[in-house]
Amino acid sequence: MSPDATPDPFTEPVAFGQRMQILRTRRGMSRGVLAGLLGKSPSWVKQVEGGRLQMPKLPVVLRIAEALRVRDLSDLTGDQSMAVHLFTGPGHARLPQVRSAINTYPLTTQREAPPQAHLRERLARAWSARHSAPNHRDVIGALLPDLIRDAQLAVLQADSAAERRTAQAVLSQVYSLSQFFIAYQPDSSLLWRIVERGMVSAQESEDPHTLGVAAWLATQAHRDSGAAHFDAADAVNLETLRYLEPLLTDATDDVLAIFGALQFEAGYTAARRGDTGTAWRYWDTARAMADRLPADYYHPVTSFSKAVMGAHAVTIAVELHAGTESVRQAAAADTTTIPSRPRRARHRIEEARGYQLDGQIEAALATLDKAYEAAPETIRYNGYARRIILEEAESKNPTQRRRASELAVKVGVLAS
């Protein structure tokens, strides 16, 4: 290897501080930004990276891993006995079948595609099943392979330009459902194939709502890739908002909702950057859009609604690392009106993050228990929940350590 080359932290015996610096640099993150996310000084980061301070204790290591979006803890520590996937959950048993359906392109027609109305009905039922099932990945993982193949066939067999556009809209929405299944599983390349194909099909459909949903999911995929991709997240998000805005006067509830959901996503990204004013400004704009929707409206993909705005406020506060504000927003949020089990579980995880930030560890662990009750598969695949459980399993407080260990067993967080 050239003496000028950047060492690979995964192949060379590199010290913890060097690994931390390499991974930070790959994320395009400055020492100051990382220090702010950790509640430390830039000087502390520099001393750790330079080897003048030893590897921190596990709770701090886990916070570093979260800030750098490290998928496997051993990538940061160099200790293969700590091969714990933080932001990638276990591979689902149905992942091979879903992957095979996505990777296969039909070029010849061995059978006739189902009518598009039939496909739309199956898709609507799949979304309904996702929101109502505690083990939602298992349910939609069973439905997706046939849905993907049939939606692809419908595009291939379309007889007119108009029929092809509507078929592309259905296919894009099937890819959207697929992204919910694939997210946080150990196949990032498959996730990006789904994101890109969903966006292309949405563009081919020329349907504003379908385009909005595909952009909403692309925004999340970029943002979850780390700080170096925040600009890409904003690019697709803000461009879609500009496209949709002239259509709002006569828009359907679904278009209004996806516009509001994209406004919130812009605020979410701003919060991840630490931009408090921008984050809350976008949340206010999203709330104003939610107020235009019927009281009982609930978007089938994004969960955007009046009911979810309280949960969104908790997320903004947590991403800004504002513990007291997170707890205040959690107390104000009415989660009983959120009809989706996985969305309620996700909100409970965000609440738990807020309680931990505020030093209320018992409340954080109790809230994670509630998340597990709502949707076990949501907490099992959520990196933030896994990080809290792992941290508190090392707690000096025996009660907290025991409770976190019991959660770890239920969730399977240490199974890898």
Confidence (pLDDT) at 414: 56
Confidence (pLDDT) at 88: 63
Which residue do the tokens 């959690």 mark? 330
Instruction: Tell the burial category of 242 from Cβ atoms under 10 Å away from its Cβ (0-12, 13-18, 19+).
Output: exposed
The share of the chain scoring above pLDDT 90, in percent, equals: 65
**Res. 390: pLDDT tops 80:** yes
**Mean pLDDT throughout 385-389?**
89
**Res. 173: pLDDT tops 90:** yes
Alpha-carbon separation of residue 132 from 125, 128, 139, 338 (angstroms): 10, 6, 10, 11
**Mean pLDDT throughout 192-197?**
95
**For residue 48, what are its two tokens?**
């750790």
Q: How far is 28 from 413, CA to CA, in rounded Å?
A: 29
Q: How far is 121 from 129, CA to CA, in rounded Å?
A: 12
Confidence (pLDDT) at 255: 98
Write down the H helix ranges in 133-207. Answer: 136-156, 161-182, 188-205
Confidence (pLDDT) at 13: 52
Structural domains in the chain, CATH included, are: 16-82 (1.10.260.40), 90-206 (no CATH)
Confidence (pLDDT) at 416: 41
Confidence (pLDDT) at 399: 92
pLDDT digits (tens, 9 = 90+) for 253-273: 999 999 999 999 999 999 999
pLDDT digits (tens, 9 = 90+) for 138-167: 999 999 999 999 999 999 999 999 999 999
pLDDT digits (tens, 9 = 90+) for 45-55: 999 998 888 88
- Candidates 341, 381, 385; CA nearest to 365 is 385
**Mean pLDDT throughout 269-288?**
96
**Res. 82: pLDDT tops 60:** no
Confidence (pLDDT) at 60: 84
What is the number of other CB atoms lying within 10 angstroms of the CB of residue 312?
Answer: 26
Confidence (pLDDT) at 369: 95
- SS3 label, residue 369: helix
Confidence (pLDDT) at 293: 96
Which residue do the tokens 């309280």 mark? 310
